């Protein structure tokens, strides 16, 4: 028996009992959240020859995207790196120096309070 099937059959009852809401409401929320993806997959990645083929392709696509291992194999999208302007760098330096000044002031005030005692 596969491990996944074992977990579902033997531990499914415990999972259902531990849930706050009924299982049906969880699946409904997930379906609503993935509605946009379902529409895109149906329009772009399914065969339109018959309803059975369309639904089969859609189900396969949803299984692929919901599996964490398979989804982790996909290359992460590359983000565009932008160069920072000089003004922005100066602002960051100023904010860092202000933060350091406030730390120094707070350290001085704690020393003064301990010396006055």
| pTM across the whole model | 0.40
CA 73/CA 78 separation, integer angstroms: 15
Domain boundaries, the chain: 3-76
pLDDT (tens digit, 9 = 90+) per residue, 40-83?
888 998 999 999 999 999 888 888 887 778 777 877 777 777 78
pLDDT of 115 strictly over 60: no
pLDDT at position 53, please?
93
CA 45/CA 66 separation, integer angstroms: 16
pLDDT (tens digit, 9 = 90+) per residue, 96-111?
777 666 655 555 555 5
């Amino acid at each position: 028996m596969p491990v996944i099937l074992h977990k579902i059959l033997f531990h499914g009852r415990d999972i259902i009992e531990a849930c706050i809401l009924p299982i049906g409401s969880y699946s409904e929320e997930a379906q609503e959240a993935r509605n946009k993806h379902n529409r895109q997959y149906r329009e772009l990645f399914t065969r339109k020859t018959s309803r059975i083929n369309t639904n089969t392709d859609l189900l396969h696509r949803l299984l692929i995207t919901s599996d964490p291992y398979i989804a982790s194999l996909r290359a992460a999208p590359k983000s565009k790196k932008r160069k920072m302007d000089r003004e922005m760098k100066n602002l960051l330096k100023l904010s860092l120096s202000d933060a350091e000044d406030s730390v120094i002031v707070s350290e001085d005030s704690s020393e003064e309070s301990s010396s006055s005692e």
